[in-house]
C-alpha cells in the first residue's frame, strides 16, 4: 500500500472519528441520570471524552511523520478501549434496579456497541493498510476461507470448555466447506465464539457425565450463494425453556418486570456467557459476560447487513442461524 493511500486514509479518519465519538458522548449524556452516574458506566463515558479530545485536537496530518504519529496514537486508543463491552455489561448489571425503560437502554447499547465495532474496523483497517499482508487489503481478506475462520473459533471454545468442564462435545462441519470469498473476519471473530460457547455449554450441562459417556456433537453447517452465506449451529442441549425464549436475544441487565429469579436463571442458563475467558481476536478483551454475548452478536450481525435467528425445540436443542451478506452482492450490503 502506498504512502499516499495511508495518508488519505489517516486524513479521512481524522475527520470521521471525532464525529462518531462525539455522537457516543451525547448518547451517554442522554442516559437516565442515576444510570449514567454508575462508576463503571461513567468510566467508559470518560474514556470516550478522552478519545474525542485526543483525536479532535490532533494537528492536521500533512506529512508522513504526522501519519505515523497519528497511527501510533490510534493503536494506543484501541488498546485503551478493548474492554469497553465487558465494562458496559458490568455497569448496567450493577445499576439494573434503577433501569425503568429497558427499551431505551437496549437501543443505547445496540447503537453504542455497533458504533464501536464500526470505529474499531475503520481504525484497524487503516493500521492494517501499513502491514501489506498477503491476501489482505487492510482488514478485508480478499479470499477468506470460511471453514478456517469457523475452525479458529471452534478451537478457542474447545480449549476454554475443556479447561472449565473437562469434556467437550465434538464440533462437526459440513456443507459448503470449501467456500472462499472476500470478507472481514473481525465481526465473525466476535460472533462465532459466542454462539459456539452457548451451544457447548448447553450440551455439557444438559448431559451429565453419569448419564452419557459421549456428548452429542454440535453440527455446524455452511451454505454460500451469490447473495449471502449462512452458518447454522445446531446443538442437542435441551433447547431454551419457553419462558426464556422471548428474552433470549435481550440484554440481560435487569430483573425488572420479571420474577425475582429470572436474572439469575438467565445468567446461569443456556444463553449466558460460558466463562470470563479472554478471546484471542484482534479486538481483544474478555468476551462480554453478564448475558451480553447473544444480543451483542445479533446487533453486530444486523450492523453488517445480516441477521441472527434462533430456532429452539424444547427438550431437544437449538439451531442458531447466522446469515451474512457478501461484500460483492448486488443488493445493499452494509456500510461501516
Residue 272 pLDDT > 60, yes or no? no
The model's pLDDT over 186-226, given as tens digits with 9 standing for 90+, comes to 999 999 999 999 999 999 989 987 776 789 999 999 999 99
**Band of pLDDT at residue 255, cut at 50, 70 and 90:** very low
Residues 289 and 310 in one domain: yes
Q: What is the largest distance, in Å, between two alpha-carbon atoms of the chain?
A: 68
User: Of 95, 115, 137, which residue constitutes the final position of a domain?
Assistant: 137
In this structure, the strands spanning 228-235 and 218-224 are antiparallel
Same domain, 154 and 169: yes
Q: Are residues 261 and 159 in the same domain?
A: yes
Segment 10-66, tens digit of pLDDT: 999 999 999 999 999 999 999 999 999 999 999 999 999 999 999 999 999 999 999
The count of C-alpha atoms lying within 13 angstroms of the C-alpha of 93, restricted to the half-sphere facing its C-beta, is 17
Residue 164 CB coordination number (10 Å) = 15
The domain that holds 169 is classified in CATH as: 3.30.565.10
Residues 278-326 pLDDT 10s: 344 433 333 334 578 899 999 999 999 999 999 999 999 999 999 999 9
Nearest Cα residue to 196 out of 138, 245, 227, 235? 235
Q: pLDDT value at position 63? A: 94
In a domain, 273, yes or no: yes
- Count of domains forming the chain: 2
Same domain (yes/no): 152, 128: no
Residues 24 and 80 in one domain: yes
* Arithmetic mean of pLDDT, 137-164: 94
Same domain membership, residue 203 and residue 280: yes
Residue of 85, 41, 112 lying closest to 287 (CA atoms): 85
| C-alpha to C-alpha distances, 143 to 137, 284, 318, 320, nearest whole angstrom | 10, 24, 31, 25
The domain that contains 98 carries what CATH number? 1.20.140.20
What is the extent of the structural domain holding 150? 140-325
Of 137, 161, 194, the domain-final residue = 137
Residues in the chain: 336
Percent of the chain with pLDDT over 90: 69
Task: Supply the pLDDT for residue 50.
Answer: 98
The confidence score (pLDDT) of residue 213 equals 76
In a shared domain, residues 99 and 129: yes
pLDDT of residue 2: 64
Amino acid at each position: 500500500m502506498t504512502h499516499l493511500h495511508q495518508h488519505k486514509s489517516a486524513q479521512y479518519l481524522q475527520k470521521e472519528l471525532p464525529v462518531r465519538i462525539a455522537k457516543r458522548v451525547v448518547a451517554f449524556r442522554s442516559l437516565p441520570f442515576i444510570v449514567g452516574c454508575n462508576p463503571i458506566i461513567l468510566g467508559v463515558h470518560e474514556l470516550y471524552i478522552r478519545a474525542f479530545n485526543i483525536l479532535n485536537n490532533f494537528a492536521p496530518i500533512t506529512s508522513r511523520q504526522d501519519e505515523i504519529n497519528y497511527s501510533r496514537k490510534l493503536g494506543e486508543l484501541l488498546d485503551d478501549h478493548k474492554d469497553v463491552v465487558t465494562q458496559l455489561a458490568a455497569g448496567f448489571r450493577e445499576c439494573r434496579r434503577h433501569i425503568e425503560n429497558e427499551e431505551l437502554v437496549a437501543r443505547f447499547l445496540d447503537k453504542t456497541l455497533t458504533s464501536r465495532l464500526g470505529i474499531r474496523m475503520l481504525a484497524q483497517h487503516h493500521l492494517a493498510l501499513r502491514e501489506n499482508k498477503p491476501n489482505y487489503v487492510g482488514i478485508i481478506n480478499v479470499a477468506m476461507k470460511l471453514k478456517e475462520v469457523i475452525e479458529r473459533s471452534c478451537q478457542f471454545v474447545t480449549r476454554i470448555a475443556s479447561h472449565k468442564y473437562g469434556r467437550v462435545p465434538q464440533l462437526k462441519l459440513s456443507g459448503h466447506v470449501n467456500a472462499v470469498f472476500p470478507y472481514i473476519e473481525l465481526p465473525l471473530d466476535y460472533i462465532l465464539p459466542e454462539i459456539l460457547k452457548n451451544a457447548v455449554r448447553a450440551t455439557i450441562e444438559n448431559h451429565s457425565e453419569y448419564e452419557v459417556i459421549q456428548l452429542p456433537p454440535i453440527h455446524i453447517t455452511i451454505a454460500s450463494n451469490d447473495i449471502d452465506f449462512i452458518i447454522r449451529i445446531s446443538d442437542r442441549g435441551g433447547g431454551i425453556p419457553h419462558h426464556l425464549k422471548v428474552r433470549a436475544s435481550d440484554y440481560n441487565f435487569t430483573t425488572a418486570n420479571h420474577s425475582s429469579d429470572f436474572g439469575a436463571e438467565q445468567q446461569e442458563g443456556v444463553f449466558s456467557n460460558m466463562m470470563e475467558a479472554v478471546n484471542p481476536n484482534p479486538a481483544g478483551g474478555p468476551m462480554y459476560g453478564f448475558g451480553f454475548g447473544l444480543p451483542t452478536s445479533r446487533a453486530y450481525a444486523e450492523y453488517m447487513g445480516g441477521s441472527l435467528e434462533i430456532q429452539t425445540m424444547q427438550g431437544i436443542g437449538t439451531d442458531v442461524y447466522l446469515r451474512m451478506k457478501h461484500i460483492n452482492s448486488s443488493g445493499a450490503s452494509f456500510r461501516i
